Chain A
Amino acid sequence: MIKFHPNKKMLTAFSAGELPLSLSIAVSAHIELCEECAQQAQQVEESLSHDTWHDESLENADFGDMLQSIMTTSFEPLETVVRAPHARVHIAGRDYQLPTAFRQYQDLKWSGFGAISRARIVNDEKNVRASLLHIGEGGRIPEHKHKGYELTLLLDGSFTDESGTYEKGDFILLDGDKSHSPYTEKGCLCYAVQDAPLHFMSGVSKVLNPLGNLIY
């Protein structure tokens, strides 16, 4: 049972196409796993559509021969929509099937540190880093907080932190003030988006630096 969902504001920004790619992937993937949010997103789309088409500030414009030229293009036959292959990843000896939003990310390069493996997904948005994170059995990320936000979408398995236990599909958004140390008993696969490096709370942060760099 999914307990954590994107809020309505985020769902709306997603449906309007206004979220950056890193977060759009997270919301899209969550929607594919969550009936409740899929339904809400559909309603949001309808109301966005309604508002867009009923914007009163319309000007006249000259579209030239655009209409005519469009109508000379050929019609797409009603073929069965070819479904592209599923997104799959293979990590730590297991195959995972991922939501459609990950379909383009097939040839991932994984790097590892202890029980943790990471593959970069989005890398072109200023400070934002988005990655798949695999944490093996009994793995823990030491207590840390973030200057910015940290979004975790749990794609498989489960993990626990100070605030509770999360399951597949949970969409967990933490902002800068909270620190946590996620732990997974049986291993898990997450999609994580951060906009600042992790800040480890313990005195041995130097030792943990490589880990911080890996995760961010």
Chain B
Amino acid sequence: MIELIANSTDNILNNHTIKLLDEEQQQINDWLDLVAKQQDKRAFSQLFTFFAPRIRSHGLKKFRQEAQAMELVQETMMLVWRKACQFNADKGKASTWIYTIMRNYSFDMLRKVQSNKEDLISEDLWPMLDVEEDTDEQDHLQSRHLLSYINTLPTLQKQVVEGIYIEDKTQQELADELSVPVGTIKSRLRLAMIKLRDMMEDKS
């Protein structure tokens, strides 16, 4: 079992005490925000200058080949550019978002190299279970059932769903109010959404 897991991850958990957005993190968030809102090329260039060498260095460790490391840089930064507007600062740091894009791409890449499979399965392994505001008419029809479904959720999840969708609070406000980390709010919301979605699908 143990040999499946690279040694490089051994020490990582000992030093994760970074919570506040320091200046650098804030800067990265701001750049990405500019890219998302205005397709700002200067801001993207700044992101590129920061991340490209770091992605390359990560890629070299992982693939031990310059060409593949460069592919990782190219594809990760391309996805950052194209999907910038999907980043939501409420959901965490821009740098973590970029990390997950790189991680997903390199997982698929490694799979292609090792098994010759192009199943792009990373999207399923790390799905974005985001709650989208749908304008779909069918959703509208279903929305009257929604309240009754919400009532069947476990109390903690119900609290979060009601706080955000009915009382219009932000995740941060709720976190403060309930004295729990934002991460807790997020995962409660996520679980609640999975449940609600399943209930709605069972009905339809």
A137 within 8 A of B: no
Query: Number of residues in B with C-beta < 8 Å to the partner?
Result: 74
A147 within 8 A of B: no
A205 within 8 A of B: no
A66 within 8 A of B: yes
Report yes or no: A73 in contact with B82, Cβ–Cβ below 8 A.
yes
Partner-binding segment picked from B144-152, B161-169, B170-178, B183-191: B183-191
Report yes or no: B58 in contact with A55, Cβ–Cβ below 8 A.
yes
Report yes or no: A43 in contact with B183, Cβ–Cβ below 8 A.
yes
Report yes or no: B86 in contact with A47, Cβ–Cβ below 8 A.
no
Interface residues on A, range: 35 or more
B143 within 8 A of A: no
Task: Please give the distance in Å from A120's CB to the nearest CB on chain B.
Answer: 14
Closest residue of chain A to B133, judged by CB?
A80
CB contacts (< 8 Å) of A185 on chain B: these are: none
Report yes or no: A9 in contact with B5, Cβ–Cβ below 8 A.
yes
B124 within 8 A of A: yes
Report yes or no: B53 in contact with A60, Cβ–Cβ below 8 A.
yes
Report yes or no: A66 in contact with B53, Cβ–Cβ below 8 A.
no
Report yes or no: B4 in contact with A19, Cβ–Cβ below 8 A.
yes
CB contacts (< 8 Å) of B111 on chain A: these are: 21
A-B contacts counted at CB < 8 A amount to 175
Measured CA separation A50–B16 after assembly (Å): 8
Contact of B9 among A13, A20, A74, A86 (CB under 8 A): A13
Please, what's the 1-or-0 string for A1-26, where 1 marks a CB less than 8 Å from any CB in chain B? 00000001110110111111101110
Please, what's the 1-or-0 string for B79-94, where 1 marks a CB less than 8 Å from any CB in chain A? 0011111100000110
Closest residue of chain B to A86, judged by CB?
B201
Measured CA separation A58–B57 after assembly (Å): 7
Closest residue of chain B to A60, judged by CB?
B53
Measured CA separation A187–B89 after assembly (Å): 44
Contacts A23-B4, A35-B187 given; does A53 touch B124 at CB 8 Å: no
Task: Please give the distance in Å from A207's CB to the nearest CB on chain B.
Answer: 30
**Chain A contacts to B: CB under 8 angstroms:** 8-10, 12-13, 15-21, 23-25, 28, 32, 35, 38-39, 42-53, 55, 57-61, 63, 66-67, 70-71, 73-78, 80-81, 84, 86, 97, 100-104, 124-125, 149, 173, 175
A selection of 13 A-B contacts at a CB cut-off of 8 Å is A9-B5, A13-B9, A19-B5, A39-B183, A47-B18, A49-B98, A55-B57, A61-B52, A97-B198, A104-B119, A104-B124, A124-B115, A175-B1
